[in-house]
């Protein structure tokens, strides 16, 4: 592959075992100690990378220092916009030169899903810590190889689960872990939006690996897992497609159920077909938590059986995320289920859901 840009242009022309660690309270996640900084280069300077870079302006422990792009003109734009040294920018073909740069400690891979595997393996060989955007890969096999490569290189592999540092989500987890909700009986979770440009990479299976399920349905899977504190043992799923032309290669709308060892059931759905579809509702024997919006960039809102939730929403989620991840790497803070192993668990569920769809909704063991 010459570059991400070349690949995109070419393709465009063609048709958790839990419990979650509770050491981080919302307040601690929002204000980590500022003693050292993790120096990060973003791999793939698209729209999400821009969001991460903007959020990192307010970070205390993480610092953006460079990037990797197949579009040379972006170097001038990014170095000017974010005050970065041009010496810390690279092309995909000379990606390995980052190994020689002592000013880069970690890379954050924000490329299309199918490229996560390759660049994680390449980064690990360079001895750099890896943050990989979700989903971590397009298959269980790739996820396992990514974990093995980072372990062999003795570098950290974190998945971009920004919500694991977000205050409303942290409070939901705290309430569940503390027993305030009692035994979890049921979870209802859904996330989706109306997809726009039919030529975008997210609708190309070779780049995305799947459709709505891979993109935002993963929030529903991950959310149900941290809401129950358990791993699903079976799934049953169906797909609906209203536009077989636009969504020829990937899934449009998926509904599924997940069963957990305690007997709790999660009813979930994801879509690329309509907006205003975002909720996480957790019902326990003693109480409930409802987040809505629950998974987007914010502000997240919520209520419980005790009343309305109120947490700090002044920061971008990625600010909490990057400072939190830096705190884990630099200061040994316990990881709130953001590791490659966490990403692998979600990939196992995703594969089981696709198998169930292919089998006509048959129950598949995870």
What is the distance of C-alpha 56 from the center of its chain? 17
pLDDT digits 0-9 by tens, 129-181: 999 999 999 999 999 999 999 999 999 999 999 999 999 999 999 999 999 99
Buried b (16+ CB within 10 A) or exposed e, 228-267: bbbbbeebbbebebeeeebbeebbbbbbbbbbbeeebbbb
Per DSSP bridges, beta strands 364-365 and 253-259 are unpaired
Give the Cα separation of 323 and 329 in Å (integer): 10
Answer yes or no: are the C-beta atoms of 155 and 124 closer than 8 Å: yes
Written as tens digits, the pLDDT of the chain (366 aa) is 444 555 444 444 433 333 333 334 443 444 444 458 999 999 999 999 999 999 999 999 999 999 999 999 999 999 999 999 999 999 999 999 999 999 999 999 999 999 999 999 999 999 999 999 999 999 999 999 999 999 999 999 999 999 999 999 999 999 999 999 999 999 999 999 999 999 999 999 999 999 999 999 999 999 999 999 999 999 999 999 999 999 999 999 999 999 999 999 999 999 999 999 999 999 999 999 999 999 999 899 999 999 999 999 999 999 999 999 999 999 999 999 999 999 999 999 999 999 999 999 999 999
Maximum separation of any 2 CA atoms in the chain, in Å:
57
Asked if 219 is an active-site residue, the reply is: yes
Selecting among 92, 108, 168, 219, the annotated active-site residue is 219
The count of residues in the chain is: 366
Sequence-distant (6+) residues with CB within 8 A of 35 are 61, 330, 331
- Whether 134 sits among the annotated catalytic residues: the reply is yes
Q: For residue 303, give every residue at least 6 positions away whose Cβ sits within 8 Å of its Cβ, in sequence order, or none.
A: 289, 290, 309
Burial 328-363 (b: 16+ CB within 10 A, else e): bbbeebebbbbbbbbbbbbbbbbbbbbebbeeeeee
- Residue 298 is predicted with a pLDDT of 87
Q: Does domain 4-162 have CATH number 3.40.1350.10?
A: no
pTM score, two decimals? 0.91
- Report domain extents, the chain: 4-162, 167-311+340-365
Q: Which architecture characterizes domain 167-311+340-365 according to CATH?
A: 2-Layer Sandwich (3.30)
Catalytic residue among 90, 108, 128, 134: 134
Residue 35, pLDDT score: 56
Q: Checking DSSP bridges between strand 265-271 and strand 184-192, what pairing results, if any?
A: parallel
């Amino acid at each position: 592959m010459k570059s991400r840009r070349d690949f995109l242009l070419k393709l465009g022309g063609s048709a958790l075992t839990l419990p979650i660690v509770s050491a981080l309270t919302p307040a601690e996640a929002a204000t980590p100690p500022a003693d050292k900084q993790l120096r990060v280069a973003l791999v793939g300077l698209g729209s999400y990378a821009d969001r991460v870079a903007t959020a990192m302006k307010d970070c205390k422990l993480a610092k953006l220092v460079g990037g990797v792009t197949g579009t040379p003109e972006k170097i001038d734009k990014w170095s000017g916009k974010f005050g970065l040294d041009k010496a810390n920018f690279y092309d995909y073909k000379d990606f390995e030169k980052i190994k020689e740069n002592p000013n880069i400690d970690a890379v954050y891979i924000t490329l299309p899903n199918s490229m996560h595997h390759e660049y994680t393996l390449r980064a690990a060989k360079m001895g750099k810590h890896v943050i990989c955007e979700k989903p971590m890969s397009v298959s269980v096999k790739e996820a396992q190889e990514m974990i093995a490569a980072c372990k062999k290189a003795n570098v950290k592999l974190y998945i971009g689960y920004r919500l694991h540092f977000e205050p409303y989500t942290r409070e939901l987890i705290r309430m569940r872990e503390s027993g305030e909700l009692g035994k979890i009986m049921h979870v209802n979770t859904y996330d989706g939006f109306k997809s726009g440009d039919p030529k975008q990479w997210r609708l190309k299976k070779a780049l995305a690996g799947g459709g709505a399920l891979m993109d935002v349905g993963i929030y529903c899977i991950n959310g149900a897992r941290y809401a129950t504190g358990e791993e699903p043992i079976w799934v049953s799923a169906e797909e609906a497609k209203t536009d077989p032309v636009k969504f020829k290669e990937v899934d449009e709308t998926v509904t599924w159920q997940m069963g957990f060892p305690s007997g709790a059931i999660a009813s979930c759905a994801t879509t690329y077909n309509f907006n205003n579809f975002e909720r996480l509702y957790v019902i326990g024997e003693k109480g409930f938590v409802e987040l809505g919006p629950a998974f987007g960039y914010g502000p997240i809102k919520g209520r419980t059986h005790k009343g309305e939730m109120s947490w700090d929403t002044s920061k971008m989620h990625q600010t909490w995320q990057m400072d939190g991840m830096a705190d884990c790497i630099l200061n040994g803070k316990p990881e709130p289920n953001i590791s490659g192993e966490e990403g692998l668990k979600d990939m196992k569920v995703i594969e089981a859901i696709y198998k169930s769809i292919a089998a006509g909704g048959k129950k598949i063991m995870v």
